[in-house]
Structure 1
Amino acid sequence: MALEKTAVDPETKRLTDAQAMRALTHPVRIALLEVLAVHQSLTATQAGELIRETPTTCSFHFRQLAKYGFVEEATPGKGKGRQRPWKLVHMGFTIQGEDLDPEARIAADVLTQMFFRRALGRFERWQRIHGSYPGEWDRASTADQTGLFVTATELAEVNAKVREVLAAYRDRLVDPSLRPTDARLIEVLYLAYPMDLDSAVVAQNIDSEEK
């Protein structure tokens, strides 16, 4: 599949509007953003082949994503309908909790849950098939869980350092020419949050007793 290289704003889109978040909370729309991040530019027909949806469905969802500023025409005026190429406007998005009103906070929680359910589903698949990958990839991949005692300020510092490490490779998403020939697309899941261990233990005990 020959795809035209198009420029994408490497800055992330800041989401604060509940309506825009609800518009994004759809599995087809999330899938379209994911494949655009890899392939730079896709028509509805091309995207449909990748995510196993009809061109008509993809065309509709591309238009909805464009309405809220997530995608735009890659070559305005060229191509019509299902043959119109689309590209990302921004390479990802961020949601800042302190900027949200109560309605937007609820929409953000639903959207975040959907994204991580999809990602965790891919991780579960990796666990089933990792033995089929070359040994170096199996050894390089990881799944870690760590508990730490930190202040809120220290947690923010940890998060910033992790983002800095990942940002060093971000340009490779925007510009395929920067990708080493032996590079693969990987997914990094990073969660950091307060853990009330006593409540977790109580919840597990209650669940066990009910069974």
Structure 2
Amino acid sequence: MDTSMINLRINEIKKSKYIKLYNINLIKNGKEISWEYAEIHDSVSTLLYDENKKSFLLVKQIRIPLLYKQIKNNISSKNLGYTYELCSGLMDKNLSEKETAIEEILEETGFCVKNLEKIATFHSALGTSATKQTFFYAQIDDSMKIGKGGGIDGEEIELFYLPIENAREFLNDDDYIKPASLGYCFMWWFDKFGFRL
């Protein structure tokens, strides 16, 4: 990405629809503790596998915080600002975890999935928000494709098929920015289906 074509403006926000900041004070064992807390929506993510293509389907999308951090710290990358992730979404619509995952899969990839298998639930950012993320697994094929995907609200999501034989190389390649949860879900899949990563 040509950074000369990027114009960044940074403004402090007083109120966000996604993040609420609090200062928590408590007394424990006679000692007062003060801690900053960021209230952030819980989320769901789904590992998608196309049996016919023998590939995982990931989403490639620009992440503005990553882009900003890379530019600010003069970090170069052939995928500047872009991440490779599981299909994911926030729990912000009063839907169940499975309903949210199914909706996000359709919005981001265009696949209509009915059956999900739960992988695990984890908590992240324990020192700031302790948000919960639940992971699912689903198989897909071309017969389930009913839309073009790409996300909503300017997400600019691209579909990225990763052949299973390239998974280890992909995980070890620092030019592909990805969350640790992606590696965990790959290991879960390879363990469950008897493949070696």
Calculate the TM-score normalised by the size of structure 1: 0.23
Determine which structure has the larger helix proportion and give its number. 1
Determine which structure has the larger strand proportion and give its number. 2
